[in-house]
Amino acid sequence: MEAGASGVIRTQWFDGRSPRGRSVTLRVQGDELLLRTHDGLVEHHYPLSGVRWPERRSHGQRQTGLPDGGLIQHASAAEWDAWFQASGLREGAVVGWMQSWRATFAAMAGTVVFLAAAWVWGVPWLSTTLARLVPQSLENQIGEQSLAQLDRLFLEPSQLPAARQEALRQRFARVVETAHPEGDAPAWQLAFHQSGVLGANAFALPGGSIVLTDELVELLDDQPDALVGVLAHELGHVQHRHGLDLMVRASLVSALVGVVLGDASGFLATVPATLATQSYSRDAEREADAHAAQMLHASGIHPAVMAIFFERMLMEANGPDKVSGQPVDARDDETGAGVSLPIAISSHPDHAERIRFFREWQAPGPR
């Protein structure tokens, strides 16, 4: 079993029908592989293009698949590789890459860079693009279905008088018209519901349905401007199609995590997926806040009214005792950190940061 000087190798051949191995010699002749038993009774010519060569590795034997289902099996890898090279045969680029530690570390760095780029640009761009491709009718349908589901689980009919509902709807419609004088506002519908489970809350669904709970209306009974601000925030979600966008993002992230972790445990895979989704939804909240501030400003309301909303929500969450002993001050970074605000999703950015955003909001100067 040694490579001859003239490019001949003695090796072991299996014909594919019997498990009995036989000693043969191999030689590359032009664009053919020549196989021959020692007694010369069997001789095969195979076109080189039909032969499946083994990939070079440091461990394991070399197995070569022949076009007729036969197999060449060579125990000494070094011997085989020497013959392979001496015969003028070429291996794939990826094979050499995998045998070099330097190339492997370069690939590792490349993987990290790719994942970082996918996180920062790839996933947001792809999901926004895909969300835009979804037709409005389908989006409405998705919204209706999730509303029906929420309705079954959490929502009860509103106890607010119809006149009050209508007044709020008119008020918000005027603000939307003022803020979007060209009529470029997304389509929206406002629904009122009572919900013991959700408490004071508001959320937007794909397709433009905005739900406002009676509890929130009562909480901001004397602050209709803040209520309008909350609605403007939800309209921001509708405008940016955040519902669909986040749905696509969650799927993309879990697909990405699945590729990286492969067959690793399912539990491990959920952790990065959850973290990524939360980070993306915080970005969405910031975008919706910016939308709300602009709408309020366009209607001549200072966005600082939103601070009242946050403070009251905080009071709801902490109970009046705590808040009275520790007055809420938006300029204090530490105040009530970690309390999540329940508008729409529990992953809103730190509320102190959001209060500061609304208080310190400045109208963009003319460009």
Pairing of the two strands 71-74 and 62-65: antiparallel
Q: Which of 223, 251, 318, 340 binds other proteins (CB under 8 A)?
A: 251
Backbone angles phi, psi at 283, to 5 degrees: -60, -40
Distances (CA, A) of 201 to 185, 220, 296, 297, 357: 23, 11, 19, 23, 20
Q: Among 128, 26, 15, which residue's Cα sits nearest to residue 67?
A: 15
Matching residue, tokens 């570390």: 105
- With binding defined as CB under 8 A, does residue 271 bind other proteins? no
DSSP, collapsed to helix, strand or coil, labels residue 181 as coil
In the complex, the smallest distance separating the C-beta of residue 29 from other proteins, rounded to whole angstroms, is 21
Cβ closer to other proteins: 92 or 187? 92
Tokens of 300: 């001549």
Q: Which of 29, 67, 85, 108 binds other proteins (CB under 8 A)?
A: 108
* Strand order from edge to edge, sheet including 209-213: 156-157, 189-194, 209-213, 202-204
- With binding defined as CB under 8 A, does residue 142 bind other proteins? yes
- With binding defined as CB under 8 A, does residue 57 bind other proteins? yes
Cβ closer to other proteins: 62 or 351? 62
In the complex, the smallest distance separating the C-beta of residue 70 from other proteins, rounded to whole angstroms, is 6
* Strand order from edge to edge, sheet including 32-37: 43-47, 32-37, 22-29, 8-14, 71-74, 62-65
Compute the Cα dihedral for 292, 293, 297, 300 and give only its sign: positive
Matching residue, tokens 């470029």: 184
- With binding defined as CB under 8 A, does residue 140 bind other proteins? no
Q: Which of 78, 120, 133, 264 binds other proteins (CB under 8 A)?
A: 264
Stretch that binds other proteins, among 38-46, 218-226, 317-325, 357-365 (CB under 8 A): 38-46
Q: Which of 34, 71, 82, 191 binds other proteins (CB under 8 A)?
A: 71
- With binding defined as CB under 8 A, does residue 125 bind other proteins? no
Residue 50, strand partner residues: none
In the complex, the smallest distance separating the C-beta of residue 300 from other proteins, rounded to whole angstroms, is 40
Q: Which of 4, 47, 52, 170 binds other proteins (CB under 8 A)?
A: 52
Stretch that binds other proteins, among 25-33, 64-72, 283-291, 326-334 (CB under 8 A): 64-72
* Residues 304 and 282: beta-carbon distance below 8 Å: no
- With binding defined as CB under 8 A, does residue 159 bind other proteins? no
Q: Which of 14, 79, 81, 165 binds other proteins (CB under 8 A)?
A: 14
Cβ closer to other proteins: 15 or 79? 15
Helices of type H across 50-181: 77-86, 93-99, 101-117, 123-133, 136-153, 162-179
Cβ closer to other proteins: 139 or 234? 139
Count of beta carbons in the 10 Å neighbourhood of residue 141: 13
Cβ closer to other proteins: 16 or 47? 16
Count of beta carbons in the 10 Å neighbourhood of residue 15: 16
Rounded distance between C-alpha atoms, residue 66 and residue 13, angstroms: 10
The residues near 19 (Cβ < 8 Å, ≥ 6 apart) are none
Q: Which of 7, 15, 76, 191 binds other proteins (CB under 8 A)?
A: 15
Binding-site ranges for other proteins (CB under 8 A):
1, 12-23, 37-39, 41-42, 52, 54-55, 57-61, 63, 65, 69-71, 73, 75, 94, 97-99, 101, 103-104, 107-108, 110-111, 114-115, 118, 134, 138, 141-142, 145, 149, 152, 156, 247, 251, 255, 259-261, 263-265, 267
